[in-house]
Amino acid sequence: MQPHAILLLLFFFPGNWAEPEGSYMLKLLHFATFQNSTSMLVGGVGLLGDMELGSLDISTGNIHYYQAWLHPALPKEDWDVIESSIKSYVRDFNRLVQMYAMMPYPFVFQTSVGCELQSNRTVRTFFNIAYEGQNFIRFCLDTGTWEQMQHNQLSATAEQLMANASTLNEVIQVLLNYTCVDVLRLFIRAGKADLERQGELTPAAPRLQPGEEPIERFQLFK
C-alpha cells in the first residue's frame, strides 16, 4: 500500500492501536474515496493488534502480505476464500454507494470489521461503516441485523438496504462470531511460534544507547 493510503487510514481510524495486555484483535480496515460517479480510490489494511499483516493495494487491487508466517497459517483454499470475499465486498460496496449515495462528491467511506479476544476470554466483534469519518451503521451480532448509529437519510437508507440482505447477514454473523475468532487464534499461534523460532536463531538484541526507547515490535506475542 502506498504511504499516503496508510496515513489516510491512520487519520480516519485514530482509535487505540496498542491493545491492552492479554487482548488480541484482528481487524480489517477498508476505505473508499469517491471522486466522482466513475472514479474512486480504494485501499485497506489487515492488522493483528498494531502489527500490519497485509494490505489491499490502492492502485492494483491486489492483496499483499507482510508477515512470513502468515500465509502458512491457513490452507491455500482458505486464503482463496478470504481474498475473493474481500474483493467482492469492495466491489459490491462501491457499486451500492454509486447506486444509492446522493451526497455531493468527493466523499469517503470506511469499513472497520474484526474480532477481539479479550483477556477474560470473551469475544467482542465489530462491523462498522463510516461516512466522512463518522460511523453511521453497525452490525448487531445477536440479531444479525444492521442498526443505525446516526439519525439521518444515509443511515436510514443503508439500514433498509441491508434489512433485505438476510442471507448475507447470516453469513456475516457466522464470519464474525466463529470464523474471525478461529482465524485470530491460528494467527496468534503462528505468530508466537515464529517469534520463538526467531528467538532461537537471532543473537541478543543490541544494547540501547542511553536515552533510546526500546521498540516493542512484537508486543502482541510477549
Ligand X SMILES: *[C@@H]1O[C@H](CO)[C@@H](O)[C@H](O)[C@H]1NC(C)=O
Residues within the interface to ligand X (CB under 6 A): 35-36, 38-39, 118, 120, 122, 141-142, 160-161, 164, 173, 177
Q: Where are the strands (E) in the chain, listed by range?
A: 24-34, 40-48, 51-56, 63-65, 107-117, 123-131, 134-140, 145-148
Measured from the CB of residue 52, what is the shortest distance to ligand X in angstroms?
24
Measured from the CB of residue 177, what is the shortest distance to ligand X in angstroms?
4
For cell 453497525, what's the residue? Answer: 138
Measured from the CB of residue 17, what is the shortest distance to ligand X in angstroms?
17
Residue number, 60 or 122, with CB nearest to ligand X: 122
Residue number, 6 or 156, with CB nearest to ligand X: 156
Residue number, 25 or 48, with CB nearest to ligand X: 25
Angstrom distance (rounded) from CA 59 to CA 108: 17
Interacting residues of 113 by C-beta distance below 8 A, sequence separation 6+: 27, 28, 30, 126, 127, 128, 176
Residues across the chain: 222
Residue number, 36 or 202, with CB nearest to ligand X: 36
The count of C-alpha atoms lying within 13 angstroms of the C-alpha of 142, restricted to the half-sphere facing its C-beta, is 1
Measured from the CB of residue 110, what is the shortest distance to ligand X in angstroms?
20
